[in-house]
Amino acid sequence: MTEVGRPGASWRVSEPPAPGWILASGDLPDINVWLALAVREHPFHAAARAYWQEARAQDTRLWFCRTTMLGLVRLLCQPKVVGKGALALPQALRLYRQWSEVPDIGLLPEPPDADKLLDRFAATTKPPLPTRLWTDAWLAATAEAAGLRLVTFDADFARFGLTRHLLLKNR
């Protein structure tokens, strides 16, 4: 606290509070869910749409994190993934921006405890964490640290023992 004086008055100026983290509410969809939502021809599109409709009916906020945002944009540009409908990078980025403008979708800031959880997942998962699941471990750590439910089509996330996790099934 700093005293600021002027004739006849004394003001006290306080330092800004330390940045805190407020747990978010809602769901953190995996990249595979965002991709299935974005691509009509995706084999899991109908299941992803059903999840989307249920989430909206329940006023569930959906979140991108930087990893899911970058993953979606990257995959939308890959002909091996989306076929002839692959987008140029500016188009894919524009599509992400359109998603992010939907009122119930946000971009999650990185939760401060995610690194600690990532370390724990890397050290304690049995069997040992294969390198192909490194991004999954980060998404799991991000969801857990933020208090979000991780939503995915990928059964590999079960290995992390998340507090909140939804495995979608193709219908």
Domain extent for 28: 24-109+147-167
This prediction's pTM: 0.84
- Assigned domain for 124 exists: no
- Assigned domain for 154 exists: yes
- Assigned domain for 30 exists: yes
* Angle between helix 66-76 and 31-38 (nearest 10): 40
* Among 30, 17, 1, residue whose Cα is nearest residue 140: 30
- Assigned domain for 16 exists: no
Q: What is the pLDDT of residues 35-85, one digit of tens each?
A: 999 999 999 999 999 999 999 999 999 999 999 999 999 999 999 999 898
- Assigned domain for 14 exists: no
- Assigned domain for 114 exists: no
- Assigned domain for 132 exists: no
The count of domains in the chain is: 1
Dist CA 74 CA 70 (whole Å): 6
Specify the CATH number for the domain of residue 65: 3.40.50.1010
* Among 1, 24, 43, 16, residue whose Cα is nearest residue 142: 24
Q: Which residue pairs, CB below 8 angstroms and at least 24 apart, start in 85-92?
A: 85/39, 85/41
- Assigned domain for 93 exists: yes
Q: What is the pLDDT of residues 87-135, one digit of tens each?
A: 999 999 999 999 999 999 999 999 989 999 999 988 876 777 888 889 9
